[in-house]
Structure formats: C-alpha cells, structure tokens
Structure 1
C-alpha cells in the first residue's frame, strides 16, 4: 500500500546557482529570493531539510508558475529517472512512438543522429548535477553542525553520498567523461564562477564506488520512513558499480550478501513476489522486491501533479481512456524475444525467426486473432497488444489506441500504466498529461539476481549463475502471476477467469545447462534474461554498452525493425555512440582563459 513519501517536499534552494552557470558575477553575489541563510541550516533540522531536497531531485521535477517542470526548466519527460528515452528507446526496447514530428528530438536520440546541441542532453546533465549540488551542500553543512552525534552525522552523510553516487552513476552511464564535483570543490561562502569550470579528464567510477562504500558502511539497515535508502540498497548499488567496472570478483560476494541477508528499508527480507506485475502497481509497491525506489504519489493534497510520475506523462496509449499521448511503443524485436520453444526456453540466437503475430494495418473494426504460439507471460505484463487484456482496461483494441502504426508499430507501453480499479487514488489528472503514483524501482531484487548470475558466470560458479537465472524464470513460469482472460470482456472490472490470456509456456533451464554449454553461451543466456525481465525499464542500452555488444546488437535491431516501421529507417550505430555527447551548452559555459574546460566526447 502506498504510504507517505519521504522526499517529495522540494526545497527552496539554499544555494540557487546551478553547477555551471552563464550568469554574471553580480548575480552570483546576490542572496537568492526565498533562499535560506547557511547559518540557519547548520543544525539537525536544517540537515534533515536539505536531505529532503537531495531526495527530491531524484525525479528531476520542480514547481514553476504552478506547473511541474524538470529542474532544468524543461518538460519532465526529458529527464525521467527511468531513462525511457536513453535506456529503452536507444536500447531497442521501444520506438519513440506518437508520430514522427512529435518531439522529434527524441527520435534523433533514438536513431543516434542526436548531436551535442540536442536540448534533451543538456536537461539531463543539469538535472543530475542539481541533485549532486544538493548532496554536496548537505555534506558541506554537516561540518558545522553541533547538535548531532557523530553517528547521526555519519548516517546523514551516508544518505547524501548514496544519492550523489546515484546521480553520478546516471551521468557516467550517459556521458562517460564527466567532471567530479564534491563538497570540497566549491566555496559556498564566496561563489566564483571559475570554480565550477572543472575538467572532465578523470574516470569517476572510483569516486562513485567510494560513495556507495561509505553509504553501505554507515546507513541504517532499517529506516523509519519509506523512501530512504538503507545499507542493503547501498550494498546493491556498490556491487552494481563494481559490475560496471568489470570487477566481477569484488562484486560477487557483495551480491551474495544482499541475496542471502538483505532486507528492505522496512526490514522485510528480499524475495521475488509471486506476481511479476506487483512491481508495477501502486497498490503493491515498496514490497519485498524493491531494493530502492523513487517514490511517487497522486492526489495527496500537495497541489497539481507535483508528486506524481511526470516522466512517463507521454507514454500512455493514444485515445481510449487515456489523455496522452501514444509515445514509447515497444518494438517488434522486443516482442519476438518473448517467444519460447517447445521446452519453454527462449530462442536466444534467432528469436526474430519466430515472430509474434501482430495487427499491423488491420483496423480495430476488423477481425484479428492473437498469436497462438508459445510465449513468455512477461510479454503481456510489459507490452499492450491487440486482443490481450490491457490490465483491467479491457482487451487492447489495436489500431484505435495507436497514433501511427506505420511509423512506430502496433504496440503500447504497459509497465507505467495505472489500474482502472484504483485510479481514483493512484492516477493524477491535474496536469496536461497523466500522472500516476507508480514508483520507479531503480534496483529490483530480480535485477540483483541477474547481476549476481553475471558475476558468478564471469568469475565464479556457473551452477550458481544458473540457479539465479532459474529463480527469475520460475516466477515467470508460475501460473499464479499470468495474465488471465476477463469474465466479461465488455466489462473488464468484473474480474478474471482462470484461463491464461495466451499460450504461456516458460521453463527453467535444466540443471547443468550453463556448465555444459560453456561460459560464452551462458553469458548470452543471462544477457537475454535481463532483456526479458527488465524490458521497458531503462536498462537495455546501458547493458549493451557495458557488455561491449551495442554496435552489433543495435545494427541487427535497426536492420530488422526498419522492415516493419518507418521511424528507424535511417537509424545506425557507430563506435562513438557508446556514449552521448557532452551538451554543447555546457562546453560553451566551461570556457576559461579562452578555451573550454570540458572536452567533448570523441566523434562529436
């Protein structure tokens, strides 16, 4: 059940200057309106208030003139913390959707023709550094606080450093070469614009690793308020950081510790929920599978859509019961990945040779029979497709809920959609596009299991790697969590039958398969399981890059998908695209002594 979030009260900035600013010196010497004097914050209450602000930056949102905008001043969808643009569209999970001319900047990014002047990159950069600035100010203030014990200071510092580690992880995955700014980099008593012109010539992974290590050692195991990070979340994030650094042997025991002993911030042991969809329903969130979540709420009396998930505001089916907007449409390449063979196992190497039937070009008024072949049930908790229950909203009608099939295909996003039965509580319609109370889970327990499997296969025991993958597959194979048909399709709220909505067939890998088939095959199986389990959650592109297969996989994806839709016809992936360009605006603002401090990424 949704409870009150810890960090949705956004802070009136104690220091209102962004990380890099083009403002004049006279502006820098002013005390910003509505700001708090530093001396008023050097106490326990002030630290708590600043921490709220550091958490509040997680969703990238703020109020402006009564509306929600991102912390950079633009629209929330540009900086959504689930990275639906940068992780899922760029990873081949999804098309931009809508029609080609609507938010064309996203299509440029998704086809890898976006350059350094694309404003979405600048928004993302500024929002993450705003989060970092807030964390740094907490750490700066703590040095002068006298009414907190050493343990209390360590706990507060650990929360700030956990959050800073998250913001830097996001930047590192996006841009690779980013400047490290910490509480010692800035003079808070006398702001000097040149102090912010820090070069991006150092690898920041070691500093991120240090932040999560400190957080893991000093955070409480149990927290008094939902939404605050605990020590196990920090350990999971530390191990994930080591995984990205390819330090498999170091990450492995930390993942094992989290799996064996980890608990949520409420003290509940980590375990997979029987129902996959529990991770995407506001009524069942903050559960035993949520290692760390960004909290959202709706209709909570805060005014407007301030605490609702505005990053996903565009990503609902077009027309029908939803007000906006037909973006974020799953790809046929993704849908085909959920095909299973007669043994209930995926077609890892040739899934597109076994395509799932779609309704391209078929009007909603015309007859259509959905695919009757073997499928993984996670498909229908991830993708809205013609003739299959779309949560409790009725069978997806196909073309009537799609803005432009020819451009972006016949499918709809689903994990971000609220339930009809609980919409009065978890849907927020106060904005121009929908908001909802569905948390975004930054790290799920199934994610931990699959990362642990990767480490075991790379540097440990293939049988243990297989065990963890099979735990994830066993949940998918359990009929209790499958999509079922409606008792009355014309009245979906009347409930469900016990009849599966499609021919679901999923099995675990037979014991010893990973060892018998060898490391290279097992690694592919783990990678494919991540594609299925974490689809449309913003991970795919960054996984492909860290595995070193982005160019191969995305070239294959473009070659296949452009035979179905027109939007990616010009898509191509070059070696430079493993990182996004440093925003040109930031390069321009970094000029010092006639030359830019920030170095542009190679190829841009």
Structure 2
C-alpha cells in the first residue's frame, strides 16, 4: 500500500508540473529583488522611487568627491581649502587642486555617474507617473512630478557647471527601444530652467516631510540658474519672492538664524535658514544612511571622529584664513592686502604642539573661528585646538582643520555613526542652499539692475548676523579673539566696488560650503583669482601646489570622462576644449 501511494503521489506531481509547464505563465518568474511596474504605479511605489532619487544627493555608491556637497569641486578647486592629509593619501584629488585634471580620472567618472544616476531615478518617477493607479490622487501626481523635476534639474545643474556641455536625457528617452545616442551638442540651461520653473509653479510652500523640496527651494534654484545665465532681472524677481514670502517646512518664514555657528549644528537642522539640504541619519543599522561624503574631512589623530582619527583632509587654506582679517572699522580688506605683511593671520605652521604659541591678536571677522580650526582657539566643545598634534602633515596641508559640519563632543554619541571604521560617517545633514546664500545672490542681481543700495542692505543683513556677540567663540566667557566686524555704512555708488564687496562677502559667509569655484567661473575671475592663490599658497606648502597653474578657457570646466566617450563614441560626445 505504501508503495502504491508513493507512486501515485509522484505521478500526480509529475502530471501537475507537466500541466503547468505547458502554460506560458510557468516561465514568467519575477527576478528576485525587482519590482513590477504595477507595484511601482501605486502611491507607495512612486514615493519609494522618489525617495531613491533624493538619496543621490549624497552620492551613494560613488566616490566621496562625487556628491552635491562639492567639497572638492567647489571648495578645494576654489582655493578655500587644500586636499590636506598627506601627499600619498587619496592622491587622485591632487590633480584637481592643481588644475591638472585628466579625462581618465576615476573621480570625474564617479561624478558623471553619480549625477546621471540621480537623473535616471528622477526620470523613472516621471515615466512611472504616466500609468499611476487609482491610489494616486491628481494632487499627489502633480506634487510627485514636480519634486522629480526639481531633482532632475538639480542633478543637471551640477552636471552643467561641472562639465558644461552634457547630454540631456528626459523620461521620453526609451532605452528599451534602442535609443541610446544623445549628444552633448546643445546647451541645457533652458531645460534646467524649465524644470525648476515647473517645480516652482506646482510645489507647495511647505512640505509635510522634512527634506523634501518645496516651492521656495525650487525658486531659489531657479534664481541661481538665472544668475548663471546673467538673467539678472529675472533673478531679482524670483529672489524677491523668496525673501518676501518664503516659508520653510515648519511653515516659518525663512530668515537668517541669529547665531552663525548654530546654522550648521546637528541639533538645529530645521532652522529658519535652511532652504534645501541632504538628509542623513546615524546608526540606522548601516552607515549607508549616514553622510559618508565628508567622512575624511576631520582633524587627524585624537580629535573628533577618533579614536582612529581620520583623516585630516579638507584643510582650510592660508589664503582663506587671511581673508577674515578686518580693518579698524571692522570691514574686510577688499584690496587683497590681507595676504601682505602683518595682515596675514599668525599661524603655528612648523611649530610643535608642545611649544608655546599665542594666537593672532589683530582684528578678525568672527566667522573665521566657526569655519577654520586653528591653534589656541576652542574647537567646538572638544578642547582648545592643539595645532600640529591634530594635523597629519603641516608642511603639505597647512596648520588648519575644517570646522563646519563637525559634531560637538556632546553630540557624538547620537550623531557619529559607529557601524563603520571611523566616526566620520555622521547623521549631520549638509546644507545645499540657505537663506544667506539667497540674500547674497539677490544682492548680485540688485547690483546688475542698478539697485546698489538694496544690495548693500542685503549684505549688511548678513554681516549684522555675523556680528552678534552671542555667536562668538569664547574662552572663559570672553571672545576667543579680537572680533571686530561692522556693516557698510557708506552708500554704494559704484557698481565695480559693490560687486567686489558682494563677491567677497560670499567668500566669507559661505566658505567651505562648495560654492567658491563655481562663483569664480561665473564671475569670469577664476584665472586671475586662482593663479594668484596658487602663487601665494604654493609658497607656503612644501609640495602640494608648486608649479600648478589655472589655464583660462580650459580649466573652467572638467574634461568629460574618457570612459563615457569611449562607450558612446566621439560623434556622440565631444570633449571639452583643451583636454
């Protein structure tokens, strides 16, 4: 009986398998780890796709230099910081600070792939929206589509100002149909502008979830896009709208936060100044959720991100630190004399931490000590900065350490991610655009349309906040240095003088935030400013910058990655001039 049942059961199983195998559905097995179109057409599916597009703001899966934070492309290449560390570590960055980039650079390939990955994810959202099911309301369709267009415009904005002429691929391009050749022969500024405008027209003034782009984030980027195209009247109009009625995700009107240093505090990431930022979280089970693009940019040795002490990169430059010198009235030295003689900031370059040192006693802008870690000044709540003991190689990188986006000692247990080999992975959000940035861009636009006094008003707002004593670095309840800062009291009557003042204010206010190189290029001053920087800074460092030069009409943009040209062909992708 047992044998009969067994044979019968086997025959039944064979018959069932044979019957099913004869149907086409037997072959339709969904690959593991993939989602069907019907799963993605729901509201939950579309929101998931959209969130994946946001994640590429941090450059997930690519090099630390690839992301939208632009610490290499904007700040190191803008002369605000040296690569730092030592000559051997991550030396693929070195050609960028020397303006000797090659098309074969892996960093360039990572940047290209990171930004196009963001574009691809945004396009997936827009493509999938066309077949959204009944769970997606018309209002949700409009909002999701606007957020996707905002993100696509952001990634193309980064591609445009990095490489200049790049292919524009939207959701209509069907790779499944074999359409793969999109050339880089057309300027994409109009496409970027159109996407930001579409987002601005549709997005709500506030969002229910922190980190999502709202109407005013789109407006701020649209105004910035106008500036890059020298459409100053249009830029003024849109910046006026942000300044007049913009509100953040909490429904609070955008404003300068009262104390400068707290703008960047991990405990203050919903403050009134932040218009758009990356979103990160620590200790969520994997460091992938934390901010990893800045994980090298910490003091070396026993300071924050220890005990490994990684890694001593992104050291503020001598030239940047000197820029915070002020005159007897508390104004910056716009004539460049901050790099001359006694105006240069006193440093401990070449001096052991065990040797005596007295910090600079001259007049200084208080933003210096929120932007640059220097000997003898408190480094947040960790300790007084010890100098050489926290620097990996002073001769190569200089005496300074970065100070923005560093968690305090009190925050470390909550903010530092401990799931990786260094505590440099953090839950700190990185600001991509903030209200002070908007005010200073608005000041630029006002100058170009002839409203110099309005520009002075905006700059003075920024300087007044910086002068708030409640925000000064202190020792024993007293200012840690001789902070002397004031507003511009004399009316501006000369466009050239006003431009210089606004441009210098951007340098001071936004230092280390990835803007400087791109600003210099759009102002047309990159060759003059950066070659002067290389001459000055190169004389201070042992072998980091000697012989380096910025070549005009070439180094304003990066070479297109050779890997991409090899894949697509020279008839599809044309290399930038000079490479």
What is the distance in 1 between the residues matched to 2:450 and 2:202? Answer: 29
Offset of 1:596 from its aligned partner?
4.1
Report what 2:80 is aligned to.
93
Q: How does 1:29-428 map to 2 (within 5 A)?
A: 33-61=32-60, 69-70=61-62, 75=63, 77-147=64-134, 148-187=136-175, 190=176, 192=178, 195-299=179-283, 302-321=284-303, 322=306, 323-350=309-336, 351-353=338-340, 354-428=343-417
Offset of 1:145 from its aligned partner?
1.2
Q: Once the two structures are superposed, what CA deviation does each residue of 1:131-190 show, in whole Å capped at 9, x if it has no partner? A: 100000100011111323332211110000001111001111100011000001224xx2
Offset of 1:191 from its aligned partner?
5.3
What is the distance in 1 between the residues matched to 2:335 and 2:568? Answer: 46
Offset of 1:42 from its aligned partner?
1.6
Q: Tell whether the 8 Å contact from 2:65 to 2:71 is kept in structure 1 after alignment.
A: no
Offset of 1:32 from its aligned partner?
6.4
Report what 2:458 is aligned to.
468
* Number of aligned residues: 540
Q: Once the two structures are superposed, what CA deviation does each residue of 1:319-377 show, in whole Å capped at 9, x if it has no partner? A: 01332000110000000000000000000112212200000111000000000000001
SS of 1:578 mapped into structure 2: coil
Higher Rg of the two aligned structures: 2
Offset of 1:437 from its aligned partner?
1.7
What is the distance in 2 between the residues matched to 1:366 and 1:78? Answer: 36
What is the CA RMSD across the aligned residues, in angstroms? 1.3
Report what 2:575 is aligned to.
600
Q: Once the two structures are superposed, what CA deviation does each residue of 1:94-142 show, in whole Å capped at 9, x if it has no partner? A: 0000111111110111101121001000000001000100000100011
Q: Does 1:529 align with 2:505?
A: yes
What is the distance in 2 between the residues matched to 1:336 and 1:572? Answer: 21
Q: Does 1:538 align with 2:514?
A: yes
Q: How does 1:4-23 map to 2 (within 5 A)?
A: none
5+ residue gaps, structure 1: 1-29, 62-68, 486-496
Q: Tell whether the 8 Å contact from 1:248 to 1:458 is kept in structure 2 after alignment.
A: yes
Q: 1:574 aligns with which of 545, 551, 554?
A: 551
What is the distance in 2 between the residues matched to 1:391 and 1:172? Answer: 37
What is the distance in 1 between the residues matched to 2:359 and 2:320? Answer: 17
Report what 1:24 is aligned to.
none
Offset of 1:280 from its aligned partner?
1.2
SS of 2:477 mapped into structure 1: strand
Q: Does 1:508 align with 2:487?
A: yes
Q: Tell whether the 8 Å contact from 2:159 to 2:166 is kept in structure 1 after alignment.
A: yes
What is the distance in 1 between the residues matched to 2:320 and 2:173? Answer: 44
TM-score by length of 2: 0.92
Offset of 1:478 from its aligned partner?
1.1
What is the distance in 2 between the residues matched to 1:343 and 1:191? Answer: 67
Report what 1:494 is aligned to.
none
Q: Once the two structures are superposed, what CA deviation does each residue of 1:388-441 show, in whole Å capped at 9, x if it has no partner? A: 000011010001110111111000011021110111111112212321122111
What is the distance in 2 between the residues matched to 1:500 and 1:196? Answer: 60
What is the distance in 1 between the residues matched to 2:151 and 2:301? Answer: 38
Offset of 1:570 from its aligned partner?
2.4
Structure 1 runs of 4+ aligned residues shifted over 6 Å read none
SS of 2:276 mapped into structure 1: strand
What is the distance in 2 between the residues matched to 1:43 and 1:460? Answer: 51
SS of 1:377 mapped into structure 2: coil
Offset of 1:449 from its aligned partner?
0.3
Moved more, 274-283 or 30-39: 30-39
Report what 1:436 is aligned to.
426
Q: 1:454 aligns with which of 435, 438, 444?
A: 444
Report what 1:489 is aligned to.
none
5+ residue gaps, structure 2: 1-28
SS of 1:369 mapped into structure 2: coil
Q: Once the two structures are superposed, what CA deviation does each residue of 1:248-285 show, in whole Å capped at 9, x if it has no partner? A: 01110110110111011221110111111112111011
What is the distance in 2 between the residues matched to 1:169 and 1:558? Answer: 28
SS of 2:34 mapped into structure 1: coil
Report what 2:25 is aligned to.
none
Offset of 1:477 from its aligned partner?
0.9
Cα gap change, 1:32/1:86 in structure 2, threshold over 3 Å: closer, same or farther? farther
Q: Tell whether the 8 Å contact from 1:298 to 1:426 is kept in structure 2 after alignment.
A: yes
What is the distance in 2 between the residues matched to 1:116 and 1:286? Answer: 40
Q: Tell whether the 8 Å contact from 1:212 to 1:238 is kept in structure 2 after alignment.
A: yes
Q: Tell whether the 8 Å contact from 1:286 to 1:293 is kept in structure 2 after alignment.
A: no
Cα gap change, 1:460/1:35 in structure 2, threshold over 3 Å: closer, same or farther? farther
What is the distance in 2 between the residues matched to 1:129 and 1:334? Answer: 32
